[in-house]
Structure 1
């Protein structure tokens, strides 16, 4: 199974500057009030320069979300998938720690928070209709970690793609809805502990015997 972990670091280019401008616009005024014209103004380029790169704002947003969240979750530090883990196979606990870290950084990301606060409908297509590029990246990385663990005997048998998708489906709720379940009775940290337990039990080889 292919992994993105050995991809060389990409040097920032003009597109990154344009995406930075779009990000700043969305943080300032929200998605609905952000236009390609305003992105061009903030980036210090002509409107046609932006239009030659993206035909509309939804196309730009797709690239922005892929860069923002794909880079966050795709980093080896968040997934806990280092050279030793690749050779020896990550344990369910290590994978669970990576999932919880990924959920935390996404949940706390200022762009994500801003979109959920002002324009939550932008997230719905990726929950109800289709997978986005960031989700595909996450699934690919997680599947690779799970498959490595299966080879080493640290993760239960099964289709690694299906297992990864089950974990991501569970994680969706902890990214988007954890705040609705946290109160004086249950803390956010306790909820994250429950996610960790859920992932460990999902991946534990001992579950094959039950």
Structure 2
């Protein structure tokens, strides 16, 4: 077993091992011993960095959720208004979260892990998303495609809407009714965001 040097590649190797464990057995049945074995490191090496599995899973969720959010935002290009880019990215992000294997596993097996970030406090991934949203909103203010406003407050309101869809859209979906499918509800989200952000 090799010690972990604290660089991103080593951290990612451990987080990859956590992800594999969680996908296999869920969070409650994942142990630091399992993670250490998969990552090829000693359990004590993990303890020096992460005191328990929940802390490890928290770091994993942060990495994965930020990756989904950043990956969903279309590249800026000439002729593409910032509001369009933002709305497209947010809707794509909700869709991507719904399809993400780790998100689906946690919602299906260990949903209580998400409750603190809904009811009690913001997590690192939410802070990163708020920063990303505020930056894009400022771009939209500058090009005139987003209504003027306090960017941080607007970012929080947008994240509240998008987070609600991400966590709860499946409870409102009725795939037997063409007007209430997942895609139909995402169309409603698109309309809500367009109307919210339009000047």
1:63 aligns with 2:54: no
Residues 127-164 of structure 1 show CA distances to partners (whole Å, capped at 9, x for unaligned) of: 00111111111111111111111122111011111111
Greater shift, 30-39 or 52-61, is seen at 52-61
**C-alpha distance in 2, partners of 1:42/1:141?**
33
Q: TM-score, normalised to structure 2's length?
A: 0.90
Q: Match of 2:161?
A: 170
Consecutive unaligned residues of structure 2, counting only runs of 5 or more, are 1-6
Q: Match of 1:47?
A: 43
**C-alpha distance in 2, partners of 1:48/1:18?**
13
CA contact (8 A) 1:178 1:188 kept: yes
**C-alpha distance in 1, partners of 2:8/2:127?**
22
CA contact (8 A) 1:73 1:138 kept: yes
Q: Match of 2:190?
A: 196
Partner SS state of residue 147, structure 2? coil
Q: Match of 1:13?
A: 9
**C-alpha distance in 1, partners of 2:17/2:87?**
35
- C-alpha displacement of 1:94: 2.4
- C-alpha displacement of 1:93: 2.7
- C-alpha displacement of 1:80: 2.1
Q: Match of 2:3?
A: none
Structure of greater relative contact order (alpha carbons < 8 Å, 6+ residues apart): 1
CA contact (8 A) 1:89 1:151 kept: no
**C-alpha distance in 1, partners of 2:182/2:81?**
30
Q: Match of 2:113?
A: 122
1:187 aligns with 2:178: no
- C-alpha displacement of 1:82: 2.1
CA contact (8 A) 2:62 2:124 kept: yes
Q: Match of 1:134?
A: 125
Q: Match of 1:156?
A: 147
**C-alpha distance in 2, partners of 1:192/1:83?**
24
1:33 aligns with 2:29: yes
* Number of residue pairs matched by the alignment: 190
Q: Match of 2:4?
A: none
Greater shift, 21-30 or 43-52, is seen at 43-52
Residues 2-34 of structure 1 show CA distances to partners (whole Å, capped at 9, x for unaligned) of: xxxxxxxxx851111111111111111110011
